[in-house]
Chains A and B, each alone.
Chain A
């Protein structure tokens, strides 16, 4: 990973609020991260942790109302994507930033052939002729490993299996040679043997195309196998962020540590009883004035109740938003 390289995508203090009838929901709270060229950033969190909303916000994909992106900056290509006109943003989306959604069943249009859907971004963003676009679509399908690509361009989405559809989605996202690919739970709806195929494909494509990837998932196993760096989200915030090996070998935030303990594995020791994180994830109805994890935390103390911890730099690209220093076993200095 080129450490000194300028980030391709730099997100600062992003804040998104949903206005609902029963009040506001603070879905994303001051999320900051950067993405370096060619790296894969994993984003982990449970449902409602704000991981998808963060990515939707930075691409302006959330309908407003109810969503309101209140704050922050998203620097991409020397432009702040939160402050550009709709036309510029439209060119970035599907062009330099590709997007793969979770559900391959619902994100393709059932009444158009796969070929038409792959050609659309090529013609709109790259201004290709029909012929060029058709040739490129075939290349793309071959790139993502769909056999008999030329013939399959004329097929409709329902003629593809789930794994194949997800490959088509990836082909569409890759159509315009994106610098950044955002993949939101791209393998969650797939079976493990198909997931293994997609993960292998992703690794291969990254080395071939050299793009930076943001991979959103709730599956720590997937992250361990594929990510360079990992960002753990909880209650709309980044609670821990570290290079992948550090995160798994030396987790610092109590949530990350608990999460790693609660998942059973197929290798290694089998625990007689699963470790449980008691309680429920919070619903952020107000801007956080305290640590969102405090109620479920086993090391919480007074300060966690009264202040929301900032992200403390722990060195080696590792930071955690916690007042408790897991290394010394004592609260951090104020």
Chain B
């Protein structure tokens, strides 16, 4: 399925999302948090692009910005042929059915005063002209599709467990037959034994409905399972993007290497034999990123050039992108 020439469903170019910092008595603008700072990627039709990184790296902001839940600072976003980077929110509203979102916290993203039926039905109320009985039938179908018992339609979210609540959130996202779904840490709040249930459900739905996912997660092992390609973010930028197997087998960027080596593996023999790259220090503040490469303050293979010149994000091998001076040099000489 990967061999056929693919068309991108979602195309993001140089996306920037900067949040202003106001301070002082007059709330003057004193700076900005560069949450997403020039990110470019494509999401192919029917694939799952995993977006990984640590907290504060901007992965969730990126996911929300792609759906224009924010008014972005700059950049181009094309979803299903339509350029939405600077479309007004009122025009966007008509396009919302194609793009949906599943949120991290199934506790906070469902209105506790609405029944499950009302929650799943809400997008149908807003965007379709179906009759009440048609809507109810559709809600029933959606509940079947995500593995919820139809009899529970009149219950409130608090009557459900975390995994079931996440299913409600997925059903709501599916209500308008979207093409593209941003899943923002959909399993982070769930127990291990429940995570697998939700991930399998997402995979089944993708296969049945031909969905395209942007799967945001900090769980590198789960992303290896679900993603077709993986993008790694650090401090507002994508440092590496590659097909799944290549990224996990042979990570290029020093940050990706450190990140992968830090994942604890459930195998005591690996734990003792594998030499861990333990990064020193913490992630710098995105309000005040270092000069040059964002990773230069913690990078084990830092060079002089990294502290002054920002590395360019480029295709180092077919399908493999990275932003690191280690590879820039080899590329220059090869040209």
Contacts and interface: CB of A to CB of B under 8 A. Distances in A.
Contacts of B200: 273-274, 276
A266 interface: yes
Contacts of A277: 193, 196
Interface stretch (A124-132, A186-194, A326-334): A186-194
B219 to A, nearest CB: 9
A195 B266 contact: no
B144 to A, nearest CB: 17
B265 A259 contact: no
Nearest to B163: A280
Contact of B193 (A248, A262, A270): A262
Contacts of A159: none
A193 B235 CA distance: 14
Given A266-B221, A271-B225, A194 B268 contact: no
B276 interface: yes
B267 A248 contact: yes
B263 A221 contact: yes
A71 B199 CA distance: 41
Interface string A152-175: 000000000101100000000000
Contact of A225 (B163, B197, B203, B268): B268
Interface stretch (B63-71, B254-262, B307-315, B323-331): B254-262
Interface in B261-292: 261-271, 276, 278-280, 282
B264 A199 contact: yes
A306 interface: no
B111 interface: no
B191 A192 contact: no
Interface in A234-277: 244-245, 248-249, 258-260, 262-268, 270-271, 273-277
Contact of A193 (B194, B248, B262, B270): B262
Interface string B171-206: 000000000000000000001111111011001000
Contacts of A281: 191, 193
A187 to B, nearest CB: 9
B224 interface: yes
Contact of B199 (A244, A270, A274): A274
A196 B276 contact: yes
B196 A224 contact: no
A224 B199 contact: no
A93 to B, nearest CB: 29
A259 B259 CA distance: 24
Contact of B266 (A46, A161, A163, A265): A265
Contacts, number: 124
Contacts of A260: 266
B279 A193 contact: yes
B191 A276 contact: no
A248 B220 contact: no
Contact of B268 (A248, A262, A273): A248
Contacts of B199: 274
Contact of A191 (B161, B163, B218, B271): B218
Interface in A213-240: 218-226
A200 B276 contact: yes
Contacts of A220: 192, 266
Given A196-B279, A200-B278, A273-B200, A225 B264 contact: yes
Contact of B225 (A195, A197, A270): A270
A265 B280 CA distance: 25
Contact of A244 (B258, B268, B280): B268
Given A46-B193, A164-B282, A224-B268, A264 B225 contact: yes
Interface string B23-43: 000000000000000000000
B268 A274 contact: no
Contact of A248 (B163, B266, B279): B266
B196 A275 contact: yes
Nearest to A195: B262
A262 B187 CA distance: 14
A164 B280 CA distance: 12
Contacts of A199: 264
Contacts of B193: 46, 258-259, 262, 276-277, 281
Interface string B154-174: 000000010100000000000
Interface string B214-243: 000010111011000000000000000000
Contacts of A195: 262, 264
A245 B268 contact: yes
B105 to A, nearest CB: 14
B76 interface: no
Contact of B224 (A163, A196, A264): A264
A267 B265 contact: yes
- Residue from B196, B197, B221 whose CB has the most chain A CB atoms within 10 Å: B196
A274 B203 CA distance: 10
Interface string B111-123: 0000000000000
B228 to A, nearest CB: 12
B282 A221 contact: no
Contacts of B248: 266
A47 interface: yes
9 contacts: A46-B192, A164-B282, A192-B54, A196-B261, A220-B192, A263-B196, A263-B266, A264-B221, A270-B225
Given A248-B266, A271-B225, 8 more contacts: A46-B192, A192-B264, A197-B278, A249-B268, A266-B224, A270-B224, A280-B161, A281-B191
The 5 closest A-B pairs by CB, nearest first: A221-B264, A225-B271, A191-B54, A196-B262, A274-B196
Interface of A: 46-47, 161, 163-164, 191-197, 199-200, 218-226, 244-245, 248-249, 258-260, 262-268, 270-271, 273-278, 280-281
